[in-house]
Amino acid sequence: MLDPQTFHDVVSGRRRGFGAALVRGGLRLGALGYTLVVRARNRCYDWGLVNVHRVAAPVVSVGNLTLGGTGKTPMVEWLARWFQSRGVRIAVVSRGYGAEAGSPNDEALELAQKLPGVPHFQDPDRVAAARRAIEQSDCEVILLDDAFQHRRIARNLDLVLLDACDPFGYGRIFPRGTLREPAAALRRADVIVLSRADMLEPARREPTWHRVRRIAPEAACAEAAHVPVGVRSASGGTASLDALLGKRVAAFCAIGNPAGFRHTLEHSGVRPAGWRVFPDHHRYTPADIQALAAWAERLEAAAAVCTHKDLVKVGADRLGSLPLWAVCVEFRFLSGQEAVEERLERLLAESRQPDHS
């Protein structure tokens, strides 16, 4: 079993040698079977062989093409605030990946802090969750989180995020790469957002857009960045990023894209003295927290820092004797916001038509 960092090093080709080549060969064989299953499943939906269920409210899906983090949670937060600013009642529906039975997962905990009062329904059966959301919260719009591949529920708008640094999963289907399905699936997308676009110069982003326009010429296109706006503690205390500048900091995370978090810190002038990376959705145990505290103290760090997604799971203001802060990021469009909003406005107008069902 490969740990996340080794997996990415192998499938990206960064790790060389006979052993890495042998592993890539094995992963390629695994990808053949996975690809056949994905294509057969998509064709069943494309040809109407599998039922697609509609619910009694418009559905906006937020998803991605690859495994790992592309910034879906900040995008869901932005959408929620956009609808709220127009007086629209919303609910979030998600599968609840990584959650313990009967408990919210890390994304739900994070959104609960950022969007107090917005109901969040988690259930592997997202059709049932959406219907429950409508019945119990009287919502007017459902935000369906991490659902581009979840085709069982009909949606009125499919928004797909691509990570600017690796938009097409090393060009390979999982497990040989990190694509969840072939890139041609983008033809289903209504809106495509290149997240963390600020990490690349415009000229280096253009090849991605060239490919996107060939696959999905009718989709609205936009670019966005995750802008750090401060830090917060588990108890709700806040401070500016200046609280971390010039200090020895121990950084850790358990997210789908650790490189994005690292970029956020370094772009803000924070230079961690050490890094620890855990698998996405990792549940921090007391032993993990003790080990992190001992590690940070060996680094002679003045503070520890993580993502908001990690902080809601650790649930403490301190890591051992050190203050623990989470970096708060804000989703901001760099371009294309008007095109995205036009699609959202159109959805609202259509949903308010008398014959809407």
pLDDT of residue 108: 82
- Cα–Cα dist 58/36, whole Å: 32
Decide: helix, strand or coil at residue 51.
coil
DSSP 100: P
pLDDT of residue 357: 45
pLDDT of residue 98: 59
* Domains of the chain with bracketed CATH: 4-46 (no CATH), 59-225+332-351 (3.40.50.300), 227-330 (3.40.50)
Instruction: Give residue-wise pLDDT tens across range 28-57.
Output: 999 999 999 999 999 999 999 999 999 999
- Alpha-helical (H) ranges within the chain are 4-12, 18-46, 72-84, 106-114, 126-137, 202-215, 258-267, 286-298, 308-314, 337-351
Residue 235's Cβ-count burial label (10 Å; 0-12, 13-18, 19+) is exposed
136 backbone dihedrals φ, ψ, rounded to 5°: -90, -30
Instruction: Give residue-wise pLDDT tens across range 301-353.
Output: 999 999 999 999 999 999 999 999 999 988 999 999 999 999 999 999 998 87
Are residues 175 and 25 in contact, defined by beta-carbon separation less than 8 angstroms?
no
Q: Which residues of the chain have pLDDT under 50?
A: 356-357
DSSP 66: B
pLDDT of residue 89: 96
Identify the residue whose tokens are 């983090």: 69
pTM for the whole thing? 0.90
Neighbours of 314 (CB within 10 A): 20
Contacts of 243 (CB under 8 A, 6+ apart): 231, 303, 325
